[in-house]
Amino acid sequence: MSKDRDRMVYRRTDGSWANKRNDADRASSVHRTQREAEKAAREMLKNQGGGELTTKGIHGQIRSKDTIAPGNDPNPPRDREH
Protein backbone atom coordinates (compact mmCIF):
# COMPACT_ATOMS: atom_id res chain seq x y z
CA MET A 1 0.00 0.00 0.00
CA SER A 2 1.42 3.35 -0.95
CA LYS A 3 1.67 6.19 1.49
CA ASP A 4 0.38 9.61 0.59
CA ARG A 5 3.82 11.17 0.55
CA ASP A 6 5.19 8.71 -2.02
CA ARG A 7 5.92 10.19 -5.45
CA MET A 8 5.62 9.16 -9.07
CA VAL A 9 7.49 10.39 -12.15
CA TYR A 10 5.66 9.88 -15.44
CA ARG A 11 5.46 11.27 -18.97
CA ARG A 12 2.60 13.64 -19.73
CA THR A 13 0.67 13.77 -23.00
CA ASP A 14 2.56 16.90 -24.08
CA GLY A 15 5.90 15.04 -23.81
CA SER A 16 7.11 16.68 -20.59
CA TRP A 17 7.83 14.74 -17.40
CA ALA A 18 5.82 15.24 -14.21
CA ASN A 19 6.84 14.78 -10.57
CA LYS A 20 3.61 14.14 -8.66
CA ARG A 21 2.81 13.25 -5.10
CA ASN A 22 0.47 10.21 -5.00
CA ASP A 23 -2.28 11.97 -3.07
CA ALA A 24 -2.19 15.13 -5.21
CA ASP A 25 -4.43 16.09 -8.13
CA ARG A 26 -1.75 18.08 -9.93
CA ALA A 27 1.96 17.61 -10.48
CA SER A 28 4.35 19.25 -8.03
CA SER A 29 6.73 20.09 -10.85
CA VAL A 30 7.05 19.58 -14.62
CA HIS A 31 10.38 19.05 -16.39
CA ARG A 32 11.79 18.66 -19.89
CA THR A 33 13.57 15.37 -19.10
CA GLN A 34 12.89 12.31 -16.98
CA ARG A 35 16.23 12.76 -15.22
CA GLU A 36 15.31 16.29 -14.08
CA ALA A 37 11.93 15.07 -12.79
CA GLU A 38 13.53 12.18 -10.88
CA LYS A 39 16.11 14.50 -9.33
CA ALA A 40 13.38 16.88 -8.14
CA ALA A 41 11.28 14.00 -6.77
CA ARG A 42 14.24 12.54 -4.85
CA GLU A 43 15.03 15.92 -3.31
CA MET A 44 11.39 16.46 -2.27
CA LEU A 45 11.16 12.96 -0.75
CA LYS A 46 14.41 13.47 1.15
CA ASN A 47 13.18 16.82 2.52
CA GLN A 48 9.81 15.44 3.64
CA GLY A 49 11.25 12.46 5.50
CA GLY A 50 11.58 9.73 2.88
CA GLY A 51 9.22 7.55 0.91
CA GLU A 52 8.86 5.49 -2.26
CA LEU A 53 9.73 6.87 -5.70
CA THR A 54 8.08 5.13 -8.66
CA THR A 55 9.30 5.99 -12.16
CA LYS A 56 7.26 5.11 -15.22
CA GLY A 57 8.75 4.82 -18.70
CA ILE A 58 7.58 6.43 -21.93
CA HIS A 59 4.72 3.96 -22.39
CA GLY A 60 3.46 4.13 -18.80
CA GLN A 61 4.94 0.88 -17.48
CA ILE A 62 6.76 0.97 -14.15
CA ARG A 63 10.45 1.20 -14.92
CA SER A 64 11.90 1.66 -11.46
CA LYS A 65 11.02 1.79 -7.75
CA ASP A 66 13.35 3.17 -5.14
CA THR A 67 13.01 3.84 -1.43
CA ILE A 68 14.36 7.23 -0.42
CA ALA A 69 15.52 7.32 3.17
CA PRO A 70 15.13 10.33 5.46
CA GLY A 71 18.04 12.74 5.43
CA ASN A 72 19.06 12.04 9.04
CA ASP A 73 18.47 8.26 9.24
CA PRO A 74 21.31 6.69 11.33
CA ASN A 75 20.62 3.25 9.76
CA PRO A 76 19.86 3.78 6.08
CA PRO A 77 18.41 0.88 4.04
CA ARG A 78 21.02 -1.31 2.40
CA ASP A 79 18.98 -2.51 -0.58
CA ARG A 80 19.22 0.53 -2.84
CA GLU A 81 18.56 0.20 -6.53
CA HIS A 82 20.45 3.34 -7.55
pLDDT digits (tens, 9 = 90+) for 32-54: 999 999 999 999 999 998 899 99
HSE-CB for 12 with a 13 A CA cutoff: 14
Distance from C-alpha of 1 to C-alpha of 30, rounded to nearest angstrom: 25
Given pLDDT bands bounded at 50, 70 and 90, which one contains residue 81?
low
DSSP 40-81: HHHHHHHHTT-EEEEEE-TTS-EEEEEEEPPTT-SS--S---
- Say what the pLDDT of residue 76 is: 61
